[in-house]
Structure 1
Amino acid sequence: MDKKQLSERDICTKFITPAIEQAGWDIHKQVREEVSFTKGRIIVRGKLHSRGESRRADYILYHKPNLPIAVIEAKDNKHTVGHGIQQALAYAEALDVPFVFSSNGDGFLFHDRSDTGTQKETHLSLAQFPSPDELWQRYCQWKGLRGDAQQKVEAPYYDDGSGRMPRYYQTNAINRTVEAVARGQDRILLVMATGTGKTYTAFQIIWRLWKSKQKKRILFLADRNILVDQTRNNDFKPFGQAMTKISKRQIDTSYEVYLSLYQAVTGNDEERNVYKQFSPDFFDLVVIDECHRGSAAEDSAWREILEYFKNATHVGLTATPKETKEVSSITYFGEPVYSYTLKQGIEDGFLAPYKVVRIDFDRDLQGWRPPKGMVDKNGQLIEDRIYNLQDMDRTLVIEARTQLVAQKVTEFLKATDPMQKTIIFCDDINHAERMREALVNLNPQQVAKNRKYIMRITGDELEGKAELDNFIDPENPYPVIATTSKLMTTGVDAQTCKLVVLDQHIKSMTEFKQIIGRGTRINEEHNKFWFTIMDFKKATELFADPAFDGEPVVIYSPDGGEPPVPPEDPTKEGDGVTAGGTGSGDVEPEPEEGQKRVKYVIDNLTISVIGERVMYYGPDGKLITESLHDYTRTCVKKQYASLDDFLRHWGTAEQKKAIIDELASQGVLWEALAEEVEKKRGATLDPFDLICHIVFDQPPLTRKERAEQVKKRNYFTKYQGEARQVLEALLEKYADTGIEHIEDIKILRLDPFRSLGSPVELLNAFGGKPGYQQAIQQLEQALYDASNGAA
């Protein structure tokens, strides 16, 4: 047998798997092959989308089903033993495993990522593959797990029999937390981006600690009633009769898992007695959801609960650790044991990418000064000074501005999908009501269909607040548009929200992250794969702040001394974000306690748009703010140095779709590019012509023009009957929808092809599938022939 003639899969079957099995690994329980652990980044193209490649490990080895400890990357025997080691190391880093192997069937290159090995890389024969016990003991040594701690971390996940397993990053978070508890750590922080399943992760942590009897009584704290109810009815449901929700009355101490609102156990003295009905040592685990909020502040009522149950292990969950001069999540909980960012979530395909529509108004940027002695709509004398963006809807209400925001939102919805779930973040409840009213008047037909098309959902109004459940329910179409202030900022699981509108002065990075998180969830069943952010108050400038997706910096000073200045921007206050987004770092001082902010209402001032631009989420996780043409040139020229190079690859590619998808994964934004060129030329260009025209300055042809050129050359004369009809129909399809669709053989199941015959009959007209594929390639060659336009 010549190994060099075997495929990679054959090498696995004949050499690698037997070597693993011979070393004592249970192939059915401890070894998984070809494990895709990400979903592939979502690439948006017009109203369609595709996914990039998922990351797939050839082998993952487990001590227990919940404890991965090694990865193996396999290559065929034409490669060296260590050829796959760098790929395997990247997988191991993501999967949080210490032991990494590469093999070509001759042996293994073993890389030890733990700090326990004296030699990082070792060559092993097939017979020298380490046993499960050997790697497990080295793993425990690396993690600092001694004595009974080793047994504690082996506690299994909850398994409902459906086959659902935690995603790889959830596994990392769960294992890091359980291991920290097993080592005796009593303050633990987990940082996971909104939409990545913090509550499910918390459930699995609690389940493993509860089932193994490490933690017998657990308190789960959240700050919204809807979050407690969602948790109880969904992720925590398996706790069944062992679980209860705490209310403001006599406590029943016979349960083991307690869910509670912070507010339900704090407040006046009588309410505080609720949690004091428990003994201080009653709970041995307290899990705090959204722990960046009240529990981060030393003087908050919420912190009192944690202090009362201080002997318990405290696990904090948040997407946004709060780090200000007054408050610090990290000072209380310690450095995060695990972090999973928005950027990672988008890259892995678990979170939705976004595009930003930034709209600037003249009065916001240029400022406005009232004529001397001018009074507002309510007869108040307007203070004589210059009002700009930071004043809008705070000290100055321009009714025409509210109307224009509502108009731009309405135009966007009508041009895309009027029924897409939309959240509009306003500065206060009054602003949210004015926005609701403006939208109602601009959308009379939709409101006539259902009065709940637009609802104000704020904490002060019961009817609107009651619609929150319906808004976040993917199965309920109404309400469609929610105007809000603070109520929907955090913890609202709006899976199908496709439009987030920012007309709010966002004061902190924490708040900004939480608001952006309202759109990041994916719901494939309801075709939610990406979302749009409309920004009217320059809030999205915060995407450029290193703190947006970076590590939090502790600037809190618990001893009362002078706190260090945050390194990124010493001019910014609080969480490092200015109120107005003016770039000056100036924050308008809040009114003195007991005073009400003066707010002028102007009903006779015009306002207009002076700038509108679209920015896209790039492959590096940053917004693309340069010219789309320049950005495309840069992306393509990394791949193809010259026009000849591009033409050669395009001409020899068996499927043009492969090049289109490859360029998309490298950062070419086909959707945006096509929209921009179409606006200028009034016609749709093929990806080939987009590249030739924008990157290499060639005169382009439209798809229709390319199709006409092929017809003029009488290309179809060599085909007769059904074959000719199929090719003529394919050419029309190309002119309508592009090259990718005609390359997909499934097109034969659609009209007009099915009226010509079944797919099998149509393939037979070309002498079978190979003949059909050859005809497609010849058709593509005719479309992109050197004498045909840009080519």
Structure 2
Amino acid sequence: MEEPDKKEMSERDICSKFITPAIKQANWVERQIWEEVKLTNGRIIVKGSTTTRGKQKRADYVLSYKPNIPLAIVEAKRNIYAVGEGMQQALMYAEMLDIPFAFSSNGDTFLLHDRTGTFGKVEEEIPMDRFPSPEFLWQKYCEWKGLDEGKQKIVTQDYFIDQQKSLRYYQRIAINRTVEAIAKGQNRILLVMATGTGKTLTAFQIIWRLWKAGVKKRILFLADRNILVDQTKINDFKHFGTAMTKIKNREAEKSYEIYLSLYQAVSGTEEERNIYKQFSPDFFDLVIIDECHRGSAAEDSAWREILAYFTSATHIGLTATPKETKDISNIHYFGEPIYTYSLKQGIEDGFLAPYRVVRFDLDRDLQGWRPEKGKVDRYGTPIEDRIYNQKDFDRNLVLEKRTELVAKKVTEFLKANDRFDKTIVFCENIDHAERMREALVNENPDLAGENRKYVMRITGDNPEGKAELDNFISPESRYPVIATTSKLMSTGVDAQTCKLIVLDKRIQSMTEFKQIIGRGTRINEDYGKFYFTIMDFKKATELFADPDFDGEPVEIYGPEGGNGAWGFGDSEGKTDREKYFVDDVDVDVVTERTQYYGPDGKLITESLKDYTRKTVLKDFKSLDSFLKHWNEAEKKKVILSELEERGVLLEALAEEVGKDFDPFDLICHVAFDRPPLSRKARTEWVKKSDYFSKYGEQAQEVLDALLDKYADDGIENLEDMSVLKVQPFDRIGTPMEIVKLFGGKSSYLAAVRGLESQIYTLEA
């Protein structure tokens, strides 16, 4: 049988017939060759109440010396392209995955790009029979990294293989960089990873590899919340088994190897409470501090005191938000982060949930309120005469109708979506959280009457509420649904199914803001959690516009302002100051506006119409150029998907302009000022034309039904053959029988394209 022409072969054929054999010939074995490797999940694109995913990033080949040491990326292209066609893509993946060698191939030869500088030449072509062996690339890697035989033993120590939890690319990088840094003698290490990206799993694998390599024999893991320590012990760290213990008594047991502890539990002002001093200063080889950004970052904080005691150990700090103020600096202590994985990158990769913001401006917040002469509050207390504004509300002065309005708006939102969506309402203090709980109960008498746990205050001073924290964060538990809080739930609460975060609290600390937003960023596909909404009543989301929100952490020397250090346990904003309660002042919403997460990682703050116009005009300078592109596209949904990838929110735009309009009309209207036509008007025009006459009676019935589907649901129905399985098509015949009415699949698809042409022939 004649061998097919190489230039006619698909990319897969080029891989299987030429590239894979060439790699194997160079002594790479199956376990070292990973093909079609999924790197990301694809960014979640919110379309009204539904979501889709953007394109996943996939590498054709990742070649690893050992599972934990990827050495090379190989990108394949069809033979009709030059050998270097895949190089830019290979380099993008190599940079993303922290991989030193990038290859591109079309099946004729390889092009190598050396990121290490050890080859002498940055790029060179290599014959198919001269692909470098794993040993050769490993030798070059070690030369580049300065790894002698002793360091290599540490670096090559395997991960713990967990079939249930495969590592994501950024976790591998964080682990590898940390282990490598320690192998080379670095003793102060900082990792910055956004909330929800698996810091604890990363810590487990770091400890596992160092422990198994015999480099670190006794390890202390410190967290600042009991729930965090317990979650860590039973989840990610469970594989340590009997080698692990949690420090919880005054007497320190010294026969274990892995120790977990609250850092408040192992420190204190009284000598007898300082359990850690029962260990000798050189007892631990490694100390890891989880969430090292909090108030604990101060020089005299609990964990800093412990680190000063165990000064000979290696210290690793894990944080989502480095604490940087005039007086507090993690970077000053740990040094620059050896790896940063940000919220923006997590959303872009599809590992974290995007968000939308519903911003409310209330009249009393904008204008302030001044009591009339002799005004007393509801308890008869004379109110000091001055102007009270947003800074005062719920701290010095309570406008009870303001609390009721916030509760009403939250309830309206839940009723319009799902009343059982897990919701956290962040309040100024415990008193405010209690009043908000009461207001929400009164707004939801039916569900609150059915179950007292529908709305609960979960604050540090309330044992009944704290006891329900585990149930709130458990996806399996329906209650509590709405939690009001001030600080207790702002950190360390792994609320995977939280879909609504309400901010009725002034937040000026970037650290606190990042942590609160982090409560919503986890995805849980099993429970339909793909994105979350932030309702903002106190302008807190203005912090999204701050470059520090998703910027690289930098060491700064200046006042941070805002809330200062975070409290723990019961320290949640109780105050003895005079507080006035006013129940006869009306409060109204002045403006309500929804802001969406854009593809650049920033909120779209301009109007949807302006943003759409600007985005479309970047690609199409005129209506003619857009029409040409639209009419030539084999599938219109490809164009719509491209626009959605760029942040054009067609469903939201339809809500604003009109739900009866086709995306084509929305775009032509908003970007090019053409009057839009409804789908129904376009449908009626096509039915009046003679387009149907060239088809048989049953085929005409199919086309007529397709037009009705278009009128009801839009263009994507026409282009999806699965529409033929539903009513009314199932009464005409099976999909195969329907296609035969047109003379076969290709003729059916041609008829659909012709129908689309008729739909869009009518001038917009």
Tell me the TM-score normalized by structure 2: 0.95
SS in 2 for 1:422: strand
8 Å CA contact retained: 2:268, 2:274: no
**Corresponding residue of 1:17:** 20
8 Å CA contact retained: 2:359, 2:592: yes
SS in 2 for 1:690: helix
CA distance in 1 between counterparts of 2:650 and 2:563 reads 35
**Corresponding residue of 1:51:** 53
- State yes or no: 1:696 paired with 2:667: no
What does the per-residue CA deviation read over 1:619-652, in whole Å, with 9 as the maximum and x for residues that have no partner? 1111111121121111112222221221122122
CA distance in 2 between counterparts of 1:665 and 1:256 reads 49
Pairwise CA distance, 1:272 = 2.6
**Corresponding residue of 1:71:** 73
**Corresponding residue of 1:741:** 717
**Matching of residues 623-634 of structure 1 within 5 Å:** 623-634=603-614
Are the structure 2 counterparts of residues 7 and 402 from structure 1 closer, same or farther at C-alpha, using a change threshold of 3 Å? same
| Paired residue type of 2:37 | V
- State yes or no: 1:709 paired with 2:685: yes
The more displaced of 716-725 and 57-66 is 716-725
**Corresponding residue of 1:645:** 625
**Matching of residues 558-573 of structure 1 within 5 Å:** 564-565=557-558, 573=559
The more displaced of 404-413 and 639-648 is 639-648
Pairwise CA distance, 1:754 = 3.2
What does the per-residue CA deviation read over 1:583-638, in whole Å, with 9 as the maximum and x for residues that have no partner? xxxxxxxxxx9983332221111111112211111111111111211211111122
- State yes or no: 1:6 paired with 2:21: no
Are the structure 2 counterparts of residues 462 and 738 from structure 1 closer, same or farther at C-alpha, using a change threshold of 3 Å? same
CA distance in 2 between counterparts of 1:756 and 1:197 reads 52
Q: Paired residue for 1:661, among 632, 638, 641?
A: 641
CA distance in 1 between counterparts of 2:631 and 2:162 reads 51
Pairwise CA distance, 1:311 = 1.7
| Paired residue type of 1:745 | M
What does the per-residue CA deviation read over 1:160-209, in whole Å, with 9 as the maximum and x for residues that have no partner? 345x4200111111111111111111111110011111111111111111
Pairwise CA distance, 1:489 = 0.4
**Corresponding residue of 1:290:** 291
Q: Paired residue for 2:576, among 574, 591, 596?
A: 596
8 Å CA contact retained: 2:430, 2:574: no
| Paired residue type of 1:250 | E
CA distance in 2 between counterparts of 1:618 and 1:693 reads 21
The more displaced of 247-256 and 285-294 is 247-256
May I ask how many residue pairs the two structures share in their alignment?
753
**Corresponding residue of 1:775:** 751
- Which structure 2 residue ranges, 5 or more long, are not aligned? 565-572
What does the per-residue CA deviation read over 1:731-775, in whole Å, with 9 as the maximum and x for residues that have no partner? 222222111133222223333333443333333333333233223
8 Å CA contact retained: 1:294, 1:303: no
Pairwise CA distance, 1:365 = 1.4
Pairwise CA distance, 1:117 = 4.7
| Paired residue type of 2:263 | Y
8 Å CA contact retained: 2:508, 2:540: no
Tell me the TM-score normalized by structure 1: 0.92
Pairwise CA distance, 1:294 = 4.3
Pairwise CA distance, 1:717 = 4.1
What does the per-residue CA deviation read over 1:96-153, in whole Å, with 9 as the maximum and x for residues that have no partner? 1111112222222221222545432222222332221221122123223223111111
CA distance in 1 between counterparts of 2:206 and 2:604 reads 38
**Corresponding residue of 2:179:** 178
Pairwise CA distance, 1:432 = 0.5
**Corresponding residue of 1:276:** 277
SS in 2 for 1:374: coil
What does the per-residue CA deviation read over 1:655-708, in whole Å, with 9 as the maximum and x for residues that have no partner? 111111011112211122111113xxxx42111111111111111111222222
Pairwise CA distance, 1:213 = 1.8
CA distance in 1 between counterparts of 2:123 and 2:66 reads 25
- State yes or no: 1:493 paired with 2:469: no
SS in 1 for 2:31: coil
CA distance in 1 between counterparts of 2:683 and 2:211 reads 67
Are the structure 2 counterparts of residues 177 and 464 from structure 1 closer, same or farther at C-alpha, using a change threshold of 3 Å? same
SS in 2 for 1:124: strand
8 Å CA contact retained: 1:399, 1:602: yes
8 Å CA contact retained: 1:191, 1:318: yes
**Matching of residues 163-562 of structure 1 within 5 Å:** 164-267=165-268, 269=270, 272-555=273-556
**Matching of residues 129-140 of structure 1 within 5 Å:** 129-140=131-142
8 Å CA contact retained: 1:219, 1:283: yes
Pairwise CA distance, 1:58 = 1.4
Are the structure 2 counterparts of residues 150 and 389 from structure 1 closer, same or farther at C-alpha, using a change threshold of 3 Å? same
CA distance in 2 between counterparts of 1:59 and 1:250 reads 53
CA distance in 1 between counterparts of 2:159 and 2:497 reads 29
SS in 1 for 2:501: strand
Are the structure 2 counterparts of residues 698 and 531 from structure 1 closer, same or farther at C-alpha, using a change threshold of 3 Å? same
CA distance in 2 between counterparts of 1:473 and 1:594 reads 29
8 Å CA contact retained: 1:46, 1:672: yes
8 Å CA contact retained: 1:422, 1:481: yes
Pairwise CA distance, 1:577 = 5.1
8 Å CA contact retained: 1:294, 1:302: no
SS in 2 for 1:79: coil
Are the structure 2 counterparts of residues 18 and 292 from structure 1 closer, same or farther at C-alpha, using a change threshold of 3 Å? same
The more displaced of 703-712 and 429-438 is 703-712
**Corresponding residue of 1:636:** 616
Pairwise CA distance, 1:270 = 6.1
The more displaced of 106-115 and 46-55 is 106-115
SS in 1 for 2:415: helix
What does the per-residue CA deviation read over 1:480-523, in whole Å, with 9 as the maximum and x for residues that have no partner? 11111001101111111111111111131000000011111111
CA distance in 1 between counterparts of 2:12 and 2:688 reads 48
CA distance in 2 between counterparts of 1:159 and 1:291 reads 28
- How many percent identity over aligned positions? 67
- Which structure 1 residue ranges, 5 or more long, are not aligned? 556-563, 566-572, 580-592
**Matching of residues 582-621 of structure 1 within 5 Å:** 596-621=576-601
**Corresponding residue of 2:98:** 96
Are the structure 2 counterparts of residues 637 and 253 from structure 1 closer, same or farther at C-alpha, using a change threshold of 3 Å? same
8 Å CA contact retained: 1:497, 1:531: yes
CA distance in 2 between counterparts of 1:480 and 1:703 reads 40
SS in 1 for 2:83: coil
Provide the alpha-carbon RMSD of the alignment. 2.0
Are the structure 2 counterparts of residues 225 and 726 from structure 1 closer, same or farther at C-alpha, using a change threshold of 3 Å? farther
Pairwise CA distance, 1:578 = 8.2
What does the per-residue CA deviation read over 1:767-786, in whole Å, with 9 as the maximum and x for residues that have no partner? 333233223222222222x2
CA distance in 1 between counterparts of 2:687 and 2:449 reads 50
CA distance in 1 between counterparts of 2:146 and 2:364 reads 61
CA distance in 2 between counterparts of 1:5 and 1:755 reads 42
8 Å CA contact retained: 1:296, 1:332: no
Pairwise CA distance, 1:527 = 1.1
Pairwise CA distance, 1:789 = 4.2
**Corresponding residue of 1:588:** none
CA distance in 1 between counterparts of 2:627 and 2:590 reads 41
| Paired residue type of 1:540 | T
8 Å CA contact retained: 1:636, 1:695: yes
CA distance in 2 between counterparts of 1:73 and 1:671 reads 37
**Corresponding residue of 2:702:** 726
SS in 1 for 2:265: helix
**Corresponding residue of 2:567:** none
| Paired residue type of 2:116 | S
8 Å CA contact retained: 1:44, 1:671: no
Q: Paired residue for 1:758, among 734, 738, 742?
A: 734
Are the structure 2 counterparts of residues 434 and 271 from structure 1 closer, same or farther at C-alpha, using a change threshold of 3 Å? farther
